[in-house]
């Protein structure tokens, strides 16, 4: 298939990776996710949130990394840093402790001469230029009940977050803690528990203003997370893309015990303009008195089974079941909350607690929504964001607030909610550290992942945040699935901790994994400073990679079925790739359970992880494989197919060279389409492998190439390449070839096409995956493939030399030392992805640099050219090539059949 949306964190749990895999990842520079980059000047003091002057700036001079990429949370040594660096902040409320912490990725040093040469040639910088350094890594979100504060302290201690998240192997219980060490916190508990933090962890709490933190946290989320804001009307969740350049002003409504309404005009510029004392505390307090519920969650659960008509007086009750149409009130409109109880001769015990809870919820939610809209109207604000403990992702609460805003604004305004709304304060406190470099990060530099075991209660799939891979597998082995309900026992707490740290204990009603965030999941935010927006997109703001709309339930169900049916074969390949050992089989089974659990969760609530597209599903599968340490499930298969294809390449090149220019161009495109049939992600294609060898299938496929193809723009492409009427066109300056599968696809399809472009004087950049996905070729594998192919072709050899591809190849190529500076270069860059599709809003910095001088893009394969980017438009000539290997996709996208061919040429926009 192809490559997917974003670059990944390489390995979250990688304590037992084999030496063979360590060698396999050598030189993959973009796979190392901690980068020390120069950054743009920070916002001026007049517009930025207040920073504590007591916090020292980071001194990264002489910084060095200790350990290697296979270590869990490797240590970064800062020899000139005189003070501990904190990567932890908290919001300690009356009910919950919200904790945000940062874990660092490692930047693996490399001696790869080819990559160094490539960076010099392309002028690659380490991401966006800034005036101070930033550490790449991950932002984690964890919640604890405040009454279980000791569990929070255990969690912090077990991860050594109060010491900057250092590798626990580098310290002992006798290690002295810096007496001046501080952590930032907001909320009332920052005062209440300050002595406890000092006593247990030896750190001081530096209190941050709650309102400052709320606003800073909201601004950060709305700028940095693409699918953060959403609307919720009549049970339907719809994500809203916020343009960070047009974010301000907006109204932030924080619904805690009471309600604060804050007009936000910019970073650090805000004013509390209103509020009400009728909020979450009112709901919980009155609900407790009226229903005897012992918790907020219990009260919310009651409301889901309630009928407010038994308690509320409706317009229809006053007008004999009729609407009051003159003023636009339907018969079901609430005229008076709890008003019906006035005229009924009943006592409190005669009313159902469920009905009381729902009536109370609607009364308070409507009130908050109405007051919020009136304040937005007062200041001319169109955007209203709601957050706070009261909402907590509860569908009925959001629907009620949304209805109120819609009703009073007559549809002119919409209520919007935030996926991370419970963490606004904690994020703001985290942002208050000086010079952490997160203030002006862009959305494309954050990638959200949902590992099984993400350290956050935020949906129905989550697990223990502590422990190694073996602990995770043990937990997964106990997983069972019953219908749509996912059940698991409480995992064993690892040594050194008494708490579960964000993994909620099963309720008294059974062992169902419950969430205090209802249908919302919060993942781990991977910060990758070198990700950039692909510069050749015609309009990045309107760009949407996914071509399959999974909001259609039948469409969603179909693709879930496809992925589920492919799962056993994928597990077999993954286990075989590591020798079929018992350990590999155990990890393979755990992967299957994890991915199946994710699919079950998403089938129940497709928007639980944000906006869902087919690319996201394929990406999630690859992430699950890596989570259980299957780094390249198709490694052996790829090697075998590469060897078979390289063996017949010389004959193919001789055949091509005997043709006329026009015949050769058509044959080359036919060859790309025929070779693209080899795709281990397609069930139909897997069945073909049982009917012949890779070369037999390739030849059979080429023989069946008959025009016109299902989508056939070849004539337009031929005219651009060869000209017409005797006029020879100017060759393209640089072509980006997004390659797909290993074996015949790249060797017999794309390499001969690249060779033709090189002969015409066009620089060629082969763009491949940064990380393995199915049988896709990777950027680390391509140089050796090109070096082998160059043994049989002088054009490829000279271009590979010019592009630096033979510098590190351990292959003896005759006369390879001869300098031929006149040859145009053949280069290889990684795309920043590790999946069968690609989201061009998040590509590697070296691909972005290579694209700046490119005037031709060739997207090949279903993942890159059909699943994603089929409708994308570019500022240069584009050719999209693929063989359709899924009947559903054929019908939906090209109105055709399986094995139809797509050749779509589009001149520069």
**Which tens digit of pLDDT belongs to each residue from 820-843?**
446 899 999 999 999 999 999 999
Confidence bin at 467 (pLDDT 50/70/90):
low
Average pLDDT of every residue of the chain: 79
Residue 466 predicted with pLDDT over 80: no
* 26-40, 48-62, 787-801: the lowest-pLDDT one: 26-40
Judge whether 305 lies within some domain. yes
Position 681 scores a pLDDT of 55
Let me know: does 186 contact 213? Beta carbons within 8 Å. Answer: yes
pLDDT in tens, 850-864: 999 999 999 999 999
pLDDT (tens digit per residue) in 418-459: 988 889 999 999 988 865 556 566 778 888 888 876 543 333
Q: What is the pLDDT of residue 44?
A: 32
Contacts of residue 230, Cβ cutoff 8 Å, sequence gap at least 6: 237, 238, 239, 240, 416, 417, 419, 607
Same domain, 642 and 703: yes
* Per-residue confidence (pLDDT) for residue 116, from 0 to 100: 72
Query: Same structural domain for residues 452 and 524?
Result: yes
Give me 795's structure tokens: 């054009």
426 and 412 share one domain: no
Q: Which of these, 594, 588, 600, 610, lies nearest to 561 by C-alpha position?
A: 600
Selection from 59-63, 173-177, 506-510 with the highest mean pLDDT: 173-177
* Domain shared by 147 and 184, yes or no: yes
Q: Mark which of 367, 388, 417 sits at the end of a domain.
A: 417
Say if residue 60's pLDDT is above 60.
no
- Together in a domain, 388 and 467: no
Helices (H), 658-713: 661-675, 683-688, 694-703
Residue 332 located in a structural domain: no
Q: What is the pLDDT of residue 642?
A: 93
Confidence of residue 603 (pLDDT cuts 50, 70, 90): confident
For tokens 């919950």, what's the residue? 96
Q: What is the dihedral of CA 587, 589, 593, 596, to 10 degrees?
A: 110
List the CATH number of the domain containing 451: 3.30.420.40
Q: How far apart are CA 432 and CA 410, in angstroms?
A: 39
Q: Is residue 396 part of a domain?
A: yes
Of the three residues 367, 401, 417, the one that is the final residue of a domain is 417
pLDDT score, position 295: 84
The average pLDDT across 384-411 equals 89
pLDDT at position 727 over 70: yes
The mean pLDDT of 703-726, rounded to a whole number, is 92
Indicate whether 490 belongs to any domain.
no
Confidence of residue 904 (pLDDT cuts 50, 70, 90): very high
* Between 597 and 666, residue with greater pLDDT: 666
pLDDT higher than threshold 50 for residue 74 = no
Specify if 457 maps to a domain.
yes
Cα distance between residue 610 and residue 616, in whole Å: 10
Position 578 in a domain: no
Whether residue 427 sits in one domain with residue 388: no
pLDDT score recorded for residue 732: 97
Instruction: Answer yes or no: do 861 and 819 share one domain.
Output: yes
Total domain count, the chain: 3
pLDDT score for 743: 92
**Residue 678 pLDDT:** 67
Q: Looking at residues 391-405, what average pLDDT do you find?
A: 89
- At which of 363, 389, 417 does a domain end? 417
One domain, residues 218 and 258: no
Within this chain, do residues 475 and 358 fall inside the same structural domain, yes or no?
no
For position 825, which CATH number holds? 3.40.50.10880
Closest by CA position to 780, among listed 125, 114, 127, 116: 114
Q: What is the pLDDT of residues 333-348, one digit of tens each?
A: 888 999 999 989 999 9
What is the mean predicted confidence (pLDDT) over 358-387? 95
C-alpha 717, offset from chain centre: 35
Measured distance CA(124)–CA(383) in Å, rounded: 39
Q: Is 159 helix (H, G, I), strand (E, B) or coil?
A: helix
Where is mean pLDDT largest: 332-336, 532-536, 647-651? 532-536
Residue 580 reports pLDDT greater than 90: yes
Instruction: Please tell me whether residues 867 and 824 are part of one structural domain.
Output: yes
Whole-number Cα distances in Å, 669 to 418, 443, 715, 780: 47, 37, 11, 25
pLDDT at position 575: 96
Q: What is the mean pLDDT of residues 227-232?
A: 92
Verify that 658 and 722 share a domain, yes or no. Answer: yes
What is the model's pLDDT at position 382? 86
In a domain, 584, yes or no: no
Where in the sequence is the domain holding 830, given as residue range(s)? 636-906
Q: Which whole number is the average pLDDT over 61-89? A: 43
Task: Write out the E strands in 78-180.
Answer: 88-92, 96-104, 137-145
Question: Which of 15-19, 97-101, 518-522, 895-899 comes out lowest in average pLDDT?
Answer: 15-19
Residues 59 and 166 in one domain: yes
Which pTM does this prediction carry? 0.80
The partner residues of 182 in beta bridges, in order of sequence, read 204
**pLDDT per residue as tens digits for the range 180-195:** 788 999 999 999 999 9
Of all helices (H) and strands (E), which one includes residue 354? helix 353-379
Q: What angle do CA 461, 465, 466 make, to 5 degrees?
A: 145
Q: Is 126 among the domain residues?
A: no
Determine the pLDDT at residue 823.
Answer: 84
- Pair 9, 105: CB distance under 8 Å: yes
Q: What is the pLDDT of residue 621?
A: 94
Minimal CA–CA distance to 570: which of 639, 618, 609, 616?
A: 618
Q: Tell me: the pLDDT tens digits for 123-170? A: 765 544 343 345 578 888 888 888 889 989 988 888 888 876 544 444
Percent of the chain with pLDDT over 90: 49
Of the given ranges (109-123, 620-634, 779-793), which has the lowest mean pLDDT? 109-123
Residue 282, pLDDT above cutoff 60: yes
| Most confident of the following: 85-89, 326-330, 391-395, 618-622 | 618-622
Residue with more model confidence, 801 or 437: 801
Token duo for residue 558: 């179909």
């Amino acid at each position: 298939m192809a490559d997917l949306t974003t670059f990944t964190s390489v390995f979250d749990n990688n304590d037992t990776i084999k030496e063979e895999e360590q060698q396999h990842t050598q030189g993959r520079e973009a796979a190392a996710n901690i980068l020390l980059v120069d950054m743009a000047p920070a916002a001026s003091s007049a517009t930025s949130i207040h920073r504590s002057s007591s916090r020292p700036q980071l001194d990264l001079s002489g910084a060095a990394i200790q350990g290697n990429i296979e270590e869990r949370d490797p240590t970064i040594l800062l020899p000139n840093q005189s003070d501990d660096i904190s990567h932890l902040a908290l919001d300690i409320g009356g009910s919950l402790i919200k904790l945000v912490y940062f874990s660092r990725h490692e930047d693996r040093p490399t001696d790869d001469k080819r990559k160094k040469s490539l960076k010099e040639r392309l002028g690659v910088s380490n991401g966006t230029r800034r005036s101070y350094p930033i550490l790449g890594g991950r932002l984690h979100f964890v919640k604890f009940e405040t009454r279980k504060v000791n569990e929070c302290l255990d969690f912090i201690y077990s991860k050594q977050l109060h010491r900057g998240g250092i590798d626990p192997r580098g310290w002992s219980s006798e290690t002295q803690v810096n007496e001046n060490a501080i952590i930032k916190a907001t909320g009332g508990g920052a005062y209440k528990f300050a002595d406890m933090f000092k006593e247990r962890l030896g750190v001081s709490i530096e209190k941050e203003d709650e309102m400052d933190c709320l606003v800073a946290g909201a601004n950060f989320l709305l700028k940095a997370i693409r699918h953060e804001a959403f609307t919720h009307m009549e049970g339907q969740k719809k994500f809203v893309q916020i343009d960070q350049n047009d974010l301000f002003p907006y109204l932030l409504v924080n619904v805690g015990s009471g309600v604060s309404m804050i007009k936000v005009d910019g970073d650090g510029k805000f004013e509390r303009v209103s509020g009400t004392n009728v909020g979450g505390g009112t709901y919980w307090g009155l609900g407790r008195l009226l229903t005897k519920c012992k918790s907020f969650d219990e009260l919310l659960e009651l409301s889901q089974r309630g009928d407010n008509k038994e308690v509320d007086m409706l317009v229809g009750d006053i007008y004999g079941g009729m609407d009051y149409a003159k003023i636009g009130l339907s018969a079901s409109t609430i005229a008076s909350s709890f008003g019906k109880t006035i005229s009924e001769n009943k006592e409190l015990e005669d009313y159902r607690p469920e009905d009381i809870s729902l009536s109370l919820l609607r009364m308070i939610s409507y009130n908050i929504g109405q007051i919020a809209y009136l304040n937005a109207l007062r200041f001319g604000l169109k955007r209203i964001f709601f957050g706070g403990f009261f909402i907590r992702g509860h569908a009925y609460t959001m629907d009620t607030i949304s209805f109120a805003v819609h009703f009073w604004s007559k549809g002119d305004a919409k209520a919007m909610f935030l996926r991370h709304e419970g963490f606004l304060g904690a994020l703001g406190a985290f942002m208050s550290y000086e010079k952490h470099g997160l203030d002006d990060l862009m959305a494309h530099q954050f990638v959200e992942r949902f590992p099984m075991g993400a350290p956050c209660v935020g949906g129905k799939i989550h697990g223990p945040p502590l422990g190694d891979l073996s602990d995770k597998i043990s937990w997964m082995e106990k997983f069972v699935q019953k219908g749509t309900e996912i059940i698991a026992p409480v995992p064993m707490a690892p040594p050194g901790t008494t708490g579960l740290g964000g993994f909620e204990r099963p309720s008294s009603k059974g062992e169902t994994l419950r969430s205090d965030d209802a249908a919302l999941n919060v993942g781990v935010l991977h910060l990758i400073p070198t990700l950039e927006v692909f510069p050749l997109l015609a309009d990045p703001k309107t760009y949407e990679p996914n071509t399959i709309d999974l909001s259609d339930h039948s469409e969603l169900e179909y693709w879930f079925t496809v992925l589920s049916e492919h799962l056993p074969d994928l597990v077999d390949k993954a286990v075989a790739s590591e020798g079929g050992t018992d350990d590999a089989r155990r990890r393979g089974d755990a992967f299957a359970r994890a991915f199946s659990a994710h699919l079950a969760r998403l089938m129940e609530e497709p928007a639980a992880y944000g906006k869902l597209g087919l690319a996201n599903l394929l990406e999630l599968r690859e992430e699950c494989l890596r989570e259980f340490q299957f780094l390249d499930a198709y490694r052996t298969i790829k090697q075998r197919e590469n060897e078979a294809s390289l063996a017949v390449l010389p004959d193919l090149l001789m055949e091509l060279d005997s043709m006329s220019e026009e015949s050769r161009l058509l044959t080359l495109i036919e060859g790309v389409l025929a070779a693209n049939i080899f795709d281990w992600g397609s069930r139909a294609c897997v069945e073909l492998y049982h009917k012949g060898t890779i070369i037999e299938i390739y030849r059979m496929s080429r023989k069946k190439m008959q025009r016109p193809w299902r989508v056939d723009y070849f004539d337009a492409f031929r005219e651009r390449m060869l000209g017409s009427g005797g006029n020879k066109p100017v060759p393209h300056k640089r072509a980006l070839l997004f390659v797909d599968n290993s074996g015949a696809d790249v060797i017999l399809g794309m390499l001969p096409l690249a060779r033709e472009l090189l002969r015409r004087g066009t620089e060629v950049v082969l763009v491949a995956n940064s990380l393995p996905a199915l049988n896709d070729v990777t950027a680390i594998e391509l140089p050796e493939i090109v070096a082998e192919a160059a043994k049989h072709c002088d054009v490829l050899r000279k271009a590979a030399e010019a592009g630096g591809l033979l510098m590190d190849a351990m292959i003896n190529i005759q006369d390879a030392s001869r300098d031929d500076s006149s040859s145009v270069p053949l280069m290889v860059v990684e795309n920043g992805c590790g999946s069968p599709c690609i989201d061009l809003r998040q590509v590697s910095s070296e691909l972005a640099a290579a694209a700046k001088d490119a005037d031709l893009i060739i997207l090949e394969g279903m993942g890159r050219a059909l699943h994603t980017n089929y409708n994308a438009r570019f500022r240069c000539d584009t050719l999209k090539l693929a063989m359709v290997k899924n009947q559903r996709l054929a019908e939906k996208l090209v109105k055709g059949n399986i094995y139809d061919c797509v050749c779509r040429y589009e001149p520069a926009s």
